[in-house]
Amino acid sequence: MKIIAVKIYGFGKWSDVSFDLNKKLKFIYGNNEAGKTTLRVFITSILFGFATKRKPFEQYHPKNGSRYGGCLKVETIDGEFIIERIEGGHGGKLKITNVQTGQLYPETFLEKWLGPVTLKLFNEIYCFDQDSLHQIGLLEPEELEKSLLSVGTSGSQKVFEIQEKFQKKADELYKPNGRVPILNKLLKQYKQKKKEVDEVRSKTSLFSEFTLDIQNEAKSKQKLEEEIKKYENELLKMQKAKSLWSAYSQYQALNKQKKSNSFDMKVTEEDYQVVTEAKLAIDSEKKMLQLVEDKINSLVGDNQKIESDDLSYFKLHEDEFSNVFQMLDRVSGSIERIKQLRSQLATLEEERNQLIEKNSWEDKTIQAFSRMDIKRLLFLLKQNTRGVENDTQLVRRRPKTKSVKSEYSFTLWGGCAALLFLIGALIIPSGMTKSAFIGCFLITGIVLLSKYFSRIQNGGNNFENVGTNTAEITKILEEAGCQLSLNYLQTKQIDLNHWFELTEKVNECRLNVAEKEKQLVAIKEQTFFCEKKLVLSADSLQRVEQLQAYKRRISPLLREQQGHSRMIASYEEEKKKRIYKIKVLSSELHKKITAYGKNSITDFERDYAAQKEHFEDNIKLTNLESQIDSQTMGILDNKRNLSNLEADYETILETLESERKELKRIVTDITEKKVRLEQLGQYDKLQVMEQELTNLQTEIIEQSENWVAFNATKQWLKRILELSSQNNLPEVVRLAEKYFMRLTNHHFEKILLSKGHLKLVSNNKINYDVGELSRATTEQLYIALRFAFIAKANKKYRLPLIVDDAFVNFDKKRKESMFALLQEISNKTQILCFTVDIEPFYDKVNEEEVLMIG
């Protein structure tokens, strides 16, 4: 059965809601009080019925007045159906509807799908939570086995019903004081018919002799039959004794050992549990101490692996390197600036070389440029160019330029102003105003005269400067040893000026590089000690880069070693605490076993094991006594050995065969005499009556055999159920072994069923009892057994598995193993997993496989 969807009309906090569960594995996620438990109880209530008024706290009547109930859409072997249950008597009114046809089906179909599983069995097997797992942790291995046996096989409930039916049928056949049962009636009829036959026989004397002979022989026949029956019973007893000889031998040996060994129990189960827990605590601390020591050794080994020639050399000169690394941090900005300046210098030099190559300047020409005042040369060349241009303008009489026009305009306006000031001075009478006019006239005249003489002087200098510049240029070239002509230089002023600018920039860049590199000199001086070891360059910048690379290479190793050292110190502290705790626990344990009169834990455990073995032998002796009844025990006590018993058996068998032959002879004689009576015609009526009597006797025997069979079958069914569980349990254990190995990440590899106890075998071949497991491992063992049993039971009845936060005690790896196992089982059995923590599984499931509620 697979649950596809849930629809709730009204149930607890839920009202008029629907949930899609159409997945093999569905995680139902929600916080506390979100309604997960209510949804889980709703599903079981629809399948098995609502809680009655006798259990009011298990009822979930809606608080808002909605209709109490809902439905499940399920997929079964018969198709898809809607199982609806609403409020009503006897667990609610049930209706089953086929989804495709809409046809109503009888309630027996739900019984068919559920099989023998009741609500109690479903909650115990198919539906479990953390509380049930916690209770399992408190059980002993025997109780765990009984829990599994109590579940039984899928047909266990039917066996109990058949037992009741056989008891009822046996009562219908015979009751000691009954009148209605069949055997009671037949015995009454037989008694009456026997009386009638005896009366008929007594009425005739013609065949009295034959009748008397027949009666005598019949008595002999009856006696022989009784003897044969006695021998047959004796033979059966002997045969049973033969089959139980092995058990009897064990019984005798144990009984003899019990009489010779009067062992007094001194250590109780509670005492042993106290000492065992103390020993487990010490073992646990020793294991943790070993783990800490292993971790310390591992960290020390890691430090040794990290150790290298570079690291060793650094530690040897750690103070010097620390000083150098601090200096590197301080000049980190200068280093970058030097790289930029060197790059810029290379670019400028490349551009200057291209300019030289473009003009085909030879080295001696460049050297000449370097010796002369190139800036003065360029100025003279520029002035010379302007003078030539002015001469050309005069010859060609070019139109006046803007400056000439402005000078002419200034002269015209100045003359007019001077004339006005002169007229004013002549007209205006003497006084302050007249003095002002005269002063202005004089100033204007002076300005005009100075402007005039300046123009005359400039015009003369233009011609004069041309000749002067040429001579100075020639002198500069001769002194520098430059053989380039004036005209060539005149045409190459732009390239020459560009070379000059580039040269100045190159020189300036070199000065800056040299200035910055002075800051690295201190680093070079401080690194003489490691120059050979690290093969440092003479170039300051390359040396700094090599030191930075060494720092980058050594820093992570140092950090890692320092981290290891801190962890080693922490583990060393923990190691001291563990050693002290072991010492305290060992002292306490010694006090406890000394109080019990033992010198060591080995003596204590050996004494307790002997007591336990003595107790188990007593149980085995009791079981053997229950197998051998007192009658068989008496037979076996009289026999010295099995050969003697077999010889007696053969003697009885021979005697029985002889008695059977004699019985056959008597039966033949009786038959012949009855034939002679029949020939006389007097035996017809008696023969019919005797046949009727024989028929009654036969029917009585048959019904008696049925009555015995019914009672015997009832007892045998009980034994068959036990054997069935014993046969099923090994198969369940084999499957659980595979699950348990996966859940514990192969820490446990085998589950052994020995002498009614479960033994767990770890990957290092150590056997553990269930009581020695941790809480989480005990839960994993129980879940493995539950899953294995469900996997076997679901071969016939496929019911969904409901898990409610059952894995909170699992670590991350075992939760991952649990999830993988759930996925595997969900291929054959639907699993609904209720949880408040979806994080461990969220990245492993699809969005459709998660239902968030609340």
Tell me the pLDDT tens digit for each residue of 177-191.
666 787 777 777 778
Q: Considering the entire predicted model, what is its pTM?
A: 0.38
Residue 491 inside a domain? The answer is no
- pLDDT tens for each residue of 270-279: 777 888 888 8
Q: Nearest Cα to 753, choosing from 775, 780, 726, 779?
A: 726
- 143 confidence band (pLDDT: 50, 70, 90): low
Residue 67 inside a domain? The answer is no
Cα separation, 766 vs 777, whole angstroms = 15
Range 581-601 average pLDDT? 82
DSSP secondary structure letter of residue 65:
-
* pLDDT over 50 at 566, yes or no: yes
Give the range among 84-88, 306-310, 534-538 with minimum mean pLDDT: 306-310
**Exposure b/e, 385-419, CB count within 10 A at least 16 = b:** eebeeeeeeeeeeeeeeeeeeebeeeeeeeeebbe
* pLDDT over 70 at 495, yes or no: yes
Residue 211 inside a domain? The answer is yes
Contact (CB, 8 A) for 801 and 786: no
Q: What is the distance of C-alpha 280 from the center of its chain?
A: 28
Range 433-454 average pLDDT? 65
**Amino acid sitting at position 201:** R
| % of the chain surpassing 90 pLDDT | 6
Residue 770 inside a domain? The answer is no
The pLDDT score that the predictor gives to residue 754 is 67
| Tokens (6 digits) for 471 | 């001579």
Cα separation, 31 vs 13, whole angstroms = 15
Cα separation, 153 vs 732, whole angstroms = 11
Looking from the CA of 706 toward its CB, the CA atoms found within 13 Å total: 17
Give the range among 193-202, 429-438, 839-848 with minimum mean pLDDT: 429-438
Domain that holds residue 632: 207-262+622-680
Looking from the CA of 806 toward its CB, the CA atoms found within 13 Å total: 30
Residue 673 inside a domain? The answer is yes
- 436 confidence band (pLDDT: 50, 70, 90): low
Q: Domain count for the chain, please give it.
A: 1
* pLDDT over 70 at 57, yes or no: no
The pLDDT score that the predictor gives to residue 95 is 93
- 169 confidence band (pLDDT: 50, 70, 90): confident
- pLDDT tens for each residue of 374-418: 778 888 887 776 655 554 454 444 444 444 445 555 566 666 666
* pLDDT over 60 at 227, yes or no: yes
| Tokens (6 digits) for 93 | 């009114």
Specify the higher pLDDT residue, 511 or 5. Answer: 5
The pLDDT score that the predictor gives to residue 838 is 78
- 74 confidence band (pLDDT: 50, 70, 90): very high
Range 473-477 average pLDDT? 81
* pLDDT over 60 at 693, yes or no: yes
Residue 301 inside a domain? The answer is no
- 100 confidence band (pLDDT: 50, 70, 90): very high
Contacts with 310 (C-beta within 8 Å, 6 or more apart), sequence order: 550, 553, 554, 557
Helices (H), 68-207: 108-114, 119-125, 130-136, 141-151, 156-173, 182-203
Residue 246 inside a domain? The answer is yes
Residue 238 inside a domain? The answer is yes
